[in-house]
């Protein structure tokens, strides 16, 4: 194995990157990652060397059903043939020119994503956190230039236990201690209210409130749903108070909950929406903010930008991802397969299960306090099931939206065998 930078580069130049990568054993890959990478993640002890559809494989050939799905980013399954083919074709044409020029790929992407979402304008970015930062900037400029909020006094209402990313602005309004500790000083301008409490939102609104920014479902918070009717009432409250409603649909969007977007389960159309993850087709980071013209038009040249945002490859990936989602009707499959998975998980007899909740193919299995979640996580791996604990002892089940009944039944069977280890 190469031991110096020079040897690594020579090996790559002589044999190609793919060959050098394939020569690494699982143990070597894990050791190298731990040795040279910052320890800001605690991965499962699984080294994925290839994946296809809903399955992933380690270097020993062990098969896993991927129920993490890159936190909903692999909605189409690993290596969708249509999306992959679209990217390969684009790589022979043009990949990156920056926003200093126009491209036909960006033009089609902007039109396509506006039609797909029912919004007026779009601002392309690369990651979900970038999309949230973009929405915050849009909301604040709208507050000062349209609503008339005194300069630097704009307030945004957010929810407890939120997760919108990890930038310094975003962690300023997180309530998860580890996300914030040692990263201050924190940015002002945010009010935090309990998730799902409409009265708390009403009480927090002032003349300086410019927006309410929330997830329709708190995925990282433990697959937490607001009370029925909450989203629609929040839309009404925002309208009555001239406040923007911003839904963060980075994880919940693009059919994950059985609708194109989770707000569609109620009459709760936002003024802006943050998008990412599944928009990249499981291949490439693509994100965007889409919204209504009255707020999106406040940006003028020089206000905001991104070197890679809206690049031709990303645009083609996103267009192919949305087209395949429509062609395969992944919304309907998500709803149907999600109902099957939810009902079968709820029927499991294991006494360690406290709750199973979900919508579409975003499902959380919460175990009782005192359950050995480390042992359960190891049991899931042993049974060939990739899932990871979120907050509150909840394990996420978010497989690709292409799953069928046979695969759902396999997930339940493997989950049941894993739960036997702690029941």
Q: Is the peptide bond before 403 cis (omega within 30 degrees of 0)?
A: no
Separation CA 406–CA 194 (nearest Å): 39
For residues 227 and 196, give the distance between their C-alpha atoms in angstroms, rounded to a whole number.
6
Distance separating alpha carbons of residues 155 and 135, to the nearest angstrom: 13
Q: Pairing state of beta strands 55-58 and 63-66?
A: antiparallel
Distance CA 75, CA 418 (A): 24
The structure tokens listed for 62 are: 């062990």
- Cβ atoms of residues 223 and 358 within 8 Å: yes
Nearest to 378 by CA among 368, 369, 386: 386
- How far is C-alpha 194 from the chain's CA centre? 22
Residues 6+ positions from 211 with CB-CB distance below 8 Å:
135, 139, 143, 156, 157, 243, 244, 245, 246, 271, 272
The CA-atom distances, in angstroms, between 219 and each of 84, 106, 224, 383 are 28, 30, 7, 24
Cα-based distances in Å from 126 to 76, 215, 284, 371: 19, 19, 9, 38
Choosing from 109, 116, 163, 195, the catalytic residue is: 163
Residue 248 falls in the annotated catalytic set: yes
- Indicate which residue of 277, 308, 380, 397 is catalytic: 277
Q: Are 100 and 311 in contact (CB under 8 A)?
A: no
Return d(Cα 143, Cα 13) in angstroms, integer: 54
CA–CA separation, 174 and 158 (whole Å): 9
Burial of 155 (0-12, 13-18, 19+ CB in 10 A): buried
Sheet holding 353-359, edge to edge: 353-359, 362-367, 394-397
Residue 66 is a catalytic residue: no
Question: Which one of 58, 66, 161, 248 is the catalytic residue?
Answer: 248
Cβ–Cβ under 8 Å, residues 298 and 141? yes
Give the count of alpha carbons within 13 A of 169, CB side only: 12
Active site residues: 163, 248, 277
């Amino acid at each position: 194995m190469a031991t110096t930078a020079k040897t690594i580069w020579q090996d790559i130049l002589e044999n190609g990157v793919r060959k050098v990568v394939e020569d690494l054993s699982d143990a070597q890959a894990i050791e190298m990652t731990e040795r040279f990478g910052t320890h800001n993640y605690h991965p499962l002890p699984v080294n994925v060397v290839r994946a296809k559809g809903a399955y992933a494989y380690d270097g020993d050939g062990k098969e896993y059903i991927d129920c993490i799905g890159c936190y909903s980013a692999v909605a189409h399954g690993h290596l969708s043939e249509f999306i992959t083919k679209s990217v390969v074709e684009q790589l022979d044409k043009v990949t990156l020119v920056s926003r200093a020029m126009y491209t036909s790929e960006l033009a089609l992407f902007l039109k396509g994503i506006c039609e797909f979402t029912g919004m007026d304008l779009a601002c392309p970015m690369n990651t979900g956190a970038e999309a949230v930062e973009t929405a915050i900037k849009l909301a604040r400029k709208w507050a000062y230039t349209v609503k008339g909020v005194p300069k630097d006094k704009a307030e945004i209402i957010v929810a407890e236990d939120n997760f919108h990313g990890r930038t310094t602005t975003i962690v300023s309004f997180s309530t998860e201690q580890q996300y914030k500790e040692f990263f201050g000083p924190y940015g002002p301008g945010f009010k935090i209210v309990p998730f799902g409490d409409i009265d708390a939102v009403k009480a927090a609104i002032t003349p300086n409130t410019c927006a309410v920014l929330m997830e329709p479902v708190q995925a990282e918070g433990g697959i937490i749903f607001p009370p029925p009717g909450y989203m629609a009432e929040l839309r009404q409250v925002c309208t009555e108070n001239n406040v923007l409603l911003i839904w963060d649909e980075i994880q919940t969007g693009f059919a994950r909950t059985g609708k194109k977007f989770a707000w569609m389960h109620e009459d709760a159309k936002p003024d802006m929406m943050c998008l990412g993850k599944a928009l990249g087709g499981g291949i490439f980071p693509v994100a965007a903010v889409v919204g209504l013209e009255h707020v999106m038009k406040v940006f003028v040249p020089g206000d905001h930008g991104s070197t890679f945002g809206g690049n031709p490859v990303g645009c083609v990936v996103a267009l192919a991802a949305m087209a395949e989602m429509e062609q395969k009707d992944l919304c309907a499959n998500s709803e149907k397969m999600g109902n099957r998975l939810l009902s079968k998980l709820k029927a499991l007899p294991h006494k360690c299960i406290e709750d199973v909740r979900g919508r579409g193919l975003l499902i959380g299995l919460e175990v009782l306090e005192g359950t050995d979640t480390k042992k359960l996580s190891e049991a899931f791996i042993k049974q060939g099931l990739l899932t990871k604990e979120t907050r509150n002892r909840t394990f996420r089940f978010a497989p690709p939206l292409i799953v069928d009944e046979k695969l759902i039944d396999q997930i339940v069977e493997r989950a049941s065998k894993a739960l036997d280890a702690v029941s």
